[in-house]
Structure 1
């Protein structure tokens, strides 16, 4: 049952948000973010969160705007499930924030514009796919159920996941591009302020990548290689960018204490596995058209799919 916040509760919640989302160029303190997240479970909504978040001077202070994006991302991922529903009406607020700061074209301005675009895309993804939780974690069986085990749904879902990943990759590129890439920079408060939001980005990207690999495998078992050429090209381009992203973060001491960077195979290995999928489809098609031909029931056990 939702708890009705007293005036004192609301005051404490507002104070926690102000401490989390302030104008100091330092990373958001997790204890204050936790207060924001816990509040969504107390009230079973994001309405109180947004009521106070929108009062913060995010239109006047770029650091406040950047931290607001980070906290919104955390609330969408880890807050009460209804946060994804309640936040749909605030896509216009996020869009306005991105447009305002996007005029700066570089530094925090560009990063805020890209982060608001990512958050809007995340909300759109969950609106179209409401069975995915904010943290995106589902089992293989749940993924099949969400897609109705229908190849057309898998095809469209992959496009949506590619779009989501594109936004993440654009944001991380802007963040790293804004930094002096000297290693010591990641250990300064100003550097960590920029880098901290990449943690939920990595968490999202890790799930999306895993699902894309699994769905690409299913698609190649059912559709002609030519039909999936665009998917393969887009997937491999993102895979290379994701490897670079993970390498950049794993080389920084700041991330080593906060998140385990998922390992990815070499690009050449991934390319070989896609060739294996294509070969399997061609062998399957050939067998189906041959009289008495034995139809393969499963592809070879590729390295990629066994290591998800």
Structure 2
């Protein structure tokens, strides 16, 4: 019952973020605690654009949501893995991108479950980073490997989006281009921290272990450094990002881990989100009470959430957008019945409260008379 209430209350916020239109997700959508209650109703396996926008919103929720979001979402890992495998059969378009994005989100959840000291947004102080390794060089060694794997998934999505766009055109000013580019803001935020922490951990490891032991770490870092430096540079030149985010640039050359003093030359890359009110990242998040449109018919709410049948999506294997009309009607009837049941439960609860209060009053009066 509570899930239904939250589903209905949050559906305007949720539906305007995840729909089948090939436009960028508005940055103000942070998701809700009952995210999965609504997600399970969406045809993510048959509509690639819908799945892509789900991934974007889910990524934001993992970064900005309550810490329990990561733990609670792990229940859906198997479904996300199957969906990634399914979309991976497509060699191009949103299907391929969805497969890559889902792998990233699974990797992100697994990393944070295994390393609970790291928050979803990856923001940590140097002291917290040290504590994450528990003063054990073996822990730091393994943590660095896991960060490499994490960053690799981020870079794969970064590269996948760029390779899917015709960069000879002004992609960042088209709705379709922005739809693909929008999630990269979350990727850039993740990457800036992962790069910073791998640099610091590698310097720490080189102070404890022989250089030859860490040759594999250095090689992998060099490869990721070149990719990230190029991707940050290319992103910073796109008009779409210029109004939303200030992307840091990596140094000309990677750090020299064989020289301990080079750590003092490392500058942590800082991503800046402009504070202008026109920036979607800084848009006001509407309170729950403001989201409930009691006058809007349930049919309208449903169409907002699942998309209208008028839209056409080339990636929809069923040649339908969302659900059939009879499926909608059945769900609307079900929701209407549940709403009525909730109203009856609420009225019954109110009567119980009044009865209990009156009983307590009588008991208190009787004890005073005694």
1:304 equivalent in structure 2: 266
| 1:225 to 1:17, Cα distance in 2 relative to 1, 3 A | same
Report the CA distance between 1:307 and its aligned residue.
7.8
Higher-helix-fraction structure: 1
1:85 equivalent in structure 2: 71
| 1:91 to 1:7, Cα distance in 2 relative to 1, 3 A | closer
Report the CA distance between 1:5 and its aligned residue.
5.0
User: C-alpha offsets along residues 250-290 of structure 1, whole Å, 9 cap, x if unaligned?
Assistant: 010101111111221012xx25x22424xxxxxxxxxxxxx
Runs of 4+ that moved beyond 2 A: 4-10, 299-302, 305-308
1:132 equivalent in structure 2: 118
- State whether residues 18 and 56 of structure 1, in contact with CA within 8 Å, keep that contact through their aligned partners in structure 2: no
1:262 equivalent in structure 2: 248
Q: TM-score, normalised on structure 2?
A: 0.70
Distance 1:161 1:230 in 2: 14
Report the CA distance between 1:161 and its aligned residue.
0.2
Report the CA distance between 1:97 and its aligned residue.
1.6
**Aligned with 2:204 (options 208, 218, 234):** 218
Distance 2:3 2:233 in 1: 47
Q: Residue 11 in 1 paired to residue 21 in 2?
A: no
Gaps of 5+ in 1: 41-47, 278-298
Q: TM-score, normalised on structure 1?
A: 0.83
User: C-alpha offsets along residues 200-258 of structure 1, whole Å, 9 cap, x if unaligned?
Assistant: 00100111111001001101111100000000000011000000110110010101111
RMSD: 1.8
- State whether residues 183 and 252 of structure 1, in contact with CA within 8 Å, keep that contact through their aligned partners in structure 2: no
Q: Which has the larger radius of gyration?
A: 2
- State whether residues 17 and 53 of structure 1, in contact with CA within 8 Å, keep that contact through their aligned partners in structure 2: no
User: C-alpha offsets along residues 162-201 of structure 1, whole Å, 9 cap, x if unaligned?
Assistant: 0001001111111000000035111100000001111100
**Aligned with 1:274 (options 257, 264, 270):** 257
Gaps of 5+ in 2: 271-370
**Aligned with 1:58 (options 11, 34, 44):** 44
Distance 1:6 1:306 in 2: 42
**Aligned with 2:20 (options 20, 23, 47):** 23
Report the CA distance between 1:149 and its aligned residue.
2.0
